[in-house]
Amino acid sequence: MVKEGAPSLKSKKPLVVMKFGGTSVGNAERMQSVGKLVVEHSREAEVAVVVSAMGGVTDMLIRAATEASAGAGEHWKNVRRELARRHREVADQLLSAAEQSSVLPRLAAQVGNFENLCSGFSLVREVTPRAMDTLSSLGEVMSANLLAAILRSQGVAAEAVDAAELIVTDDNFGNAAPLFEETTAKTRQRLAPLRRRGVIPVITGFRGATPEGVCTTLGRGGSDFSGTIIGATLDADEVWIWTDVDGVLTADPRLVPEAHIIPGISYREAIELSFFGAKVLHPKTIQPVMKKKIPVWIKNSFNPSCPGTRIVPSASEGPPGVKAITSLGKASLIMVSGGDRVSFTQMAGRVFGCLSMEEITSLMVTQSSAENVLCLAVHDSELKRTKTRLEKAFELEINYDHSASIEVMPHVAIVVAIGENMKGTPGVAGRAFGALGRRSINIIAIAQGSSELSISFAVKSADVKEAVKTIHEEFKL
């Protein structure tokens, strides 16, 4: 610990930001072991904690707000009881009488906030995105207060800090983006006195605030993002994301029982994996630490002796080829054909304009210029919106001169083989597709990024399990 008044803010110990997810703090027993983990690591490192709401609480809050605004009075009153009960139970089991008397009123105040907001929503029969953010992130305020008190009960100095005082965001409520410069200044300033005194800050995940101080949230699952934002602003040595799995797996274990933990992956591989639905990491998590090259670990709070997966700036010296396979069922292909009236570039311009207007992310895109066809894969949940928008954009060509057409192929899965070391290694795609061919798995469309980081292909939904298994075996993952 650095003494009061010492010139440098940074203590000699490495600084580690530890983020704990909802399951890691899901009940009293879990919170107790998280407390122990933090205390243990705070001997060798300076620790800053970022915490999610207790598992299930955010869902419960959002549902309560929705029901309240629909006029269902009983539902949110039950949630109020449940919210109070779950947090109270932890306090009862783990906190000394003195800690209880300081923390229970704070928890009660949040339950009071919940009540006021929900009764407001039920009166006006509406919940705005702005009000929803204030409500949906109450769980983080409660869990941070509890965890800080638990740490104090275990003998270390700790203080709950509301990230609304640290993370400055734009006003895109529900999915706000951090403003890094402002965030860095505020975070350093707010945490400096705590760090000087050796007090562990326990920071609410998920939350931020606009420059005017209105509460925002970073999107569902956004506490991972909070963790790396805080890590980057403090120039942390490492960020550890504590979750409920041993690390990043080579494939979904429900599809491939032999899937195993990858000890090290690169930033870009991790981003690619999270984009295609590997649940272990929020897709924006890596972005804040990229410039500063801070390593991020995925670790299991239920199995802390397992080292986990280390995510580092560039691909490790590993063997060339495929490192992980991810897949996304429930997709559809949309084939837009421009006919002879619209040039390919015009057509592409219009198609991507539609996607951008609707803020739809395509999962993969392929083109056949000779046939003047653009094929894109989208999530089933976005299919209807995409198709309606495209039909509008090509209305004239479809309905009047019948030159263009839009066709949909449903029940498709996108399989993505990822590995930064595939770059410049000939034959990777050949091996993958050869193996699929031998199993008679038909490939509907193929795309490879020019960065050679991943190869994506579409197969029938029914073939996805076999396809993932086949690639996993072929590359002996």
Provide the binding-site residues for Mg ion, judged by CB under 5 A. 21, 221
Nearer to ligand ASP, 59 or 115 (CB): 59
Tokens found for residue 464? 């996805």
How far, in Å, CA of 215 to CA of 137, rounded? 9
CB of 226 to ligand ASP, least distance (A): 8
Binding partner at 41 among ligand ASP, Mg ion, none, C-beta below 5 to 8 Å by kind:
none
* Ranges within 58-117 binding ligand ASP (CB under 6 A): 58
Amino acid residing at 433: F
- Span interacting with ligand ASP, options 114-122, 156-164, 220-228, 468-476, rule CB under 6 A: 220-228
Nearer to ligand ASP, 76 or 206 (CB): 206
CB of 61 to ligand ASP, least distance (A): 9
Among 26, 35, 205, 227, binds ligand ASP (CB under 6 A): 205
CB of 169 to ligand ASP, least distance (A): 14
Asked if residue 119 lies in contact with residue 103, where contact means CB atoms within 8 angstroms, the answer is no
Closest CA to 11 of 3, 2, 19: 2
Closest CA to 113 of 76, 146, 160: 76
- Residue 76 CB: number of other CB atoms within 10 A? 26
CB of 25 to Mg ion, least distance (A): 12
Mutual orientation of helices 73-94 and 97-124 as an angle, nearest 10°?
A: 170
Binding letters toward ligand ASP, positions 114-143, x by CB under 6 A: -------------------------x----
Nearer to Mg ion, 252 or 397 (CB): 252
Nearer to ligand ASP, 21 or 247 (CB): 21
How far, in Å, CA of 16 to CA of 235, rounded? 10
Phi/psi for 103 (5° steps) reads: -90, -35
Pairing of strands 364-368, 373-379: antiparallel
CB of 460 to ligand ASP, least distance (A): 32
Binding partner at 419 among Mg ion, ligand ASP, none, C-beta below 5 to 8 Å by kind:
none
Nearer to ligand ASP, 225 or 394 (CB): 225
State the sign of the Cα–Cα–Cα–Cα dihedral 189, 194, 197, 202: negative
CB of 380 to ligand ASP, least distance (A): 22
Nearer to ligand ASP, 206 or 267 (CB): 206
The torsion region of residue 339 among left (phi > 0), alpha (psi -120 to 50) and beta comes to left
* Ranges within 240-269 binding ligand ASP (CB under 6 A): none
Instruction: Quote the DSSP letter at residue 59.
Output: H
Pairing of strands 46-51, 200-204: parallel
CA 28 remoteness from chain centre:
25
Nearer to ligand ASP, 25 or 464 (CB): 25
CA 311 remoteness from chain centre:
15
Does residue 53 touch ligand ASP according to CB under 6 A?
yes
- Span interacting with ligand ASP, options 51-59, 311-319, 382-390, 463-471, rule CB under 6 A: 51-59
Nearer to ligand ASP, 137 or 326 (CB): 137
How far, in Å, CA of 112 to CA of 119, rounded? 11
CB-nearest residue to Mg ion: 221
How far, in Å, CA of 16 to CA of 48, rounded? 6
Instruction: Quote the DSSP letter at residue 318.
Output: P
By CB under 6 A, name the binding residues for ligand ASP: 21-22, 52-53, 58, 139, 205-206, 220-223
